[in-house]
Structure formats: C-alpha cells, structure tokens
Amino acid sequence: MAGRGGRHGGDAGERREEPGWQSLAEVGRDLWTAGLVTSHGGNVSLRRPRGGALITVTGAMLGRLEEGERFVPVNHGGQPDGVRGRVPSSDTKIHLAIYAANAEVGAVIHAHPVHAIALSFEWDVIQPRNLEGQVFLGRVPVITAEWEESAEPVATALKESPIVVVRGHGSYARGTDAWDALRVTSALEEAAYIISLMQRR
C-alpha cells in the first residue's frame, strides 16, 4: 500500500527486495487468529534465495506483521543483512539450522499450539487419531532440549517429520512455503485437541 510505504520509508526498500514478507504476514495473522500463538509469541521465516532467511524481529506480534518494521533479513550466520536497528528473533539459530539441514524447506513456523504442548509433557510421540493427522503428520516426535541447544535436535527431527514438538515449549514446522508450514501446524493442533477430548472421557 502506497500510504503505508510512505510512512515507513525504510520498509519500502526492504519489501521490494524481500517479496516473501507478505505471505509471512498473512500466515502470522492466521496463526494469531487460530490461537496457535500468544500475542507476542512464536516466529516465522522464509528461506532467502541468496542464502540466510527473512525472519520476524524479536518480540514481533505475529497478528500484526503488516504494521511497520517486523522483519529482518539475516545472512547464514544470523546477522542482519542490509538493515540496521532491527534484532532478529531469538530463534533465528534454530530456523537457520532447519534450512541448512533440509534443502527443500522454504519456510519455518514456530508456534505454541496449546493442546500439543499439553500432550508433550507426557508423551514422547504424538500419534494422531484422526484421519487428517495420520495422513499429513504421521507420528509427531516430541523432543526434550534446552532452548539454547535445541537448533540441531529440531533440525534433525524435521528431516523425518514435517513438524516436531519441543517438550513444554512449542512446535517447529517446515514447509515448502509459509502456507505449507501453517497447514502442518494447524493439523497438529487439531490432532492434539482431538486426542485431548478423547482422554477426558
């Protein structure tokens, strides 16, 4: 939008360079609307064709990614690339490890799906009972990892599965694009919700 570009002159240049930002903004809004993240939780990224990633800034509100300077391009090492004054998500190392380990991955979503997190305290694998979960997710691994040391375990788990849950924390999903990663994130929460309902009987 021209008006918005005028108010955020720095963004206009970034957005011309990083055309994928809009799909991230739309997916972020869907994650928030679906209750898959808290107001300031989660993070999303796209692989950049020239290396590195376009990722949300730390503390970004995923439901409001269209407003202002909510993205930062980073290089392979996680350093901001061509943009000053923005701090990339504290999960940047995890996102970059996923891209490095999985050449076909185009987007990564980290969310906090509450039913999946609840199951993760007890289970080592989330086995969907519903058809969609079985078809699209298979067996979802649950891993225990300190946050600072979770990049490699998460990236390794995502070689076999489209989504992994870090126990007591949240999910990391890979996709060919942002919509694909959203698909598996929402499918996981649906499957976990159904399991939770069945356990109440």
Report the C-alpha gap between 199 and 191 in whole angstroms.
13
- Of 28 and 170, the one with the shorter C-beta distance to Zn ion is 170
Least separation in angstroms between residue 169's CB and Zn ion is 6
Which residue's Cβ has the minimum distance to Zn ion? 170
Report the C-alpha gap between 48 and 34 in whole angstroms.
27
Least separation in angstroms between residue 168's CB and Zn ion is 10
Least separation in angstroms between residue 114's CB and Zn ion is 12
* Cβ atoms of residues 81 and 73 within 8 Å: yes
* Cβ atoms of residues 71 and 24 within 8 Å: yes
Least separation in angstroms between residue 89's CB and Zn ion is 10
- Of 25 and 43, the one with the shorter C-beta distance to Zn ion is 43
Please report, as ranges, the residues that interact with Zn ion according to CB under 5 A. Answer: 170
- Of 81 and 88, the one with the shorter C-beta distance to Zn ion is 88
The continuous run of DSSP H or E covering 92 comes out as: helix 92-101
Least separation in angstroms between residue 90's CB and Zn ion is 9
Report the C-alpha gap between 171 and 163 in whole angstroms.
7
Say how far residue 58 (Cα) sits from the centre of its chain: 13
- Of 44 and 74, the one with the shorter C-beta distance to Zn ion is 44
* Cβ atoms of residues 95 and 108 within 8 Å: yes
Q: Dig out the tokens for 86 from the structure.
A: 């923005």
- Of 153 and 170, the one with the shorter C-beta distance to Zn ion is 170
